[in-house]
Amino acid sequence: MSTSFTATEFFQQVQNGTALLLDVNPAHAYSKAHPAGSYNVPFHRQGWGEEVKRALNGQSPPLGVFADNAVIAEAAKASLTAAGLTVPFTFERGVKGWEQEGLPLERVKDLTVDELAQNLDNYVVVDVREPYELRSGIVPGAINIPMGQLQGRLNELDKSKPHAIICASGNRSASAASWLSQQGLEVANVVGGMSLWMGGRHPVDRV
């Protein structure tokens, strides 16, 4: 573990809103279990740190990296550091190690595109893609709230109704679903996103 904080100390900062914990594991692993309050930003080699920096939109909080092995954790930290971001905490022992530290986990319900299609009337579908991405189509009846606007538009969502969160491939929606769950909403992440929805020939509205 490469860190200037213990896991408990850094988690306290996350809870206080003064630091961010990035779960860099794939979306399917994140959905199964992840540290409470973490955001899923699956690691890839080329330009990943710069992508995270753009997503932070000028903010520069201390960042923690959560992974299930040391190689990925250190590569993610190096990419973030190269982008000029501060990474005082990495954790490479995955979910099992997090549990051993006595720290809380969260789980997000997965929803397949076929399950969503069969139960469309039972969900408020929230598409967290950017407006330019909607040109390919949107789930009928879905509302578009880009991921970066969720916090400011949370009052548009009805906590009494279940929500299905969708993006292009399921990565951003996993993070968005986790955050919305922390705000008290009943949510499910649509696995595979619009890519699988359209691949399954489910209906779309054009915008």
Q: What is the pLDDT of residues 124-153, one digit of tens each?
A: 999 999 999 999 999 999 999 999 899 899
Q: Find the DSSP H helices in the chain.
A: 7-16, 27-32, 48-56, 70-82, 94-100, 113-118, 171-182, 193-199
167 annotated active-site: yes
**What CATH class does 109-199 carry?**
alpha beta
Task: Tally the C-alpha atoms within 13 A of residue 104's C-alpha that lie toward its C-beta.
Answer: 10
Question: What length does the chain have?
Answer: 207
Catalytic position from the list 167, 176, 190, 194: 167
Fold (topology level) of 7-106: Oxidized Rhodanese; domain 1 (3.40.250)
Q: What is the mean pLDDT of the chain?
A: 93
Of 37, 1, 31, 33, the closest CA to residue 19 belongs to 37
Residues of the chain within CATH 3.40.250.10 domain(s) are 7-106, 109-199
> How would residue 1 be classed by pLDDT, with cut points 50, 70 and 90?
low
181 in helix, strand or coil? helix
Please say whether the beta carbons of 199 and 114 come within 8 A: no
Q: What is the largest CA-CA distance in the chain?
A: 50
Task: Tally the C-alpha atoms within 13 A of residue 102's C-alpha that lie toward its C-beta.
Answer: 4
Q: What is the pLDDT of residues 3-48, one digit of tens each?
A: 679 999 999 999 999 999 999 998 888 888 999 989 888 999 889 9
Whose structure tokens read 């054009």? 206
Q: To the nearest whole percent, how much of the chain has pLDDT over 70? A: 99
Q: Whole-angstrom Cα distance, residue 176 to residue 172?
A: 6
Please say whether the beta carbons of 169 and 147 come within 8 A: no
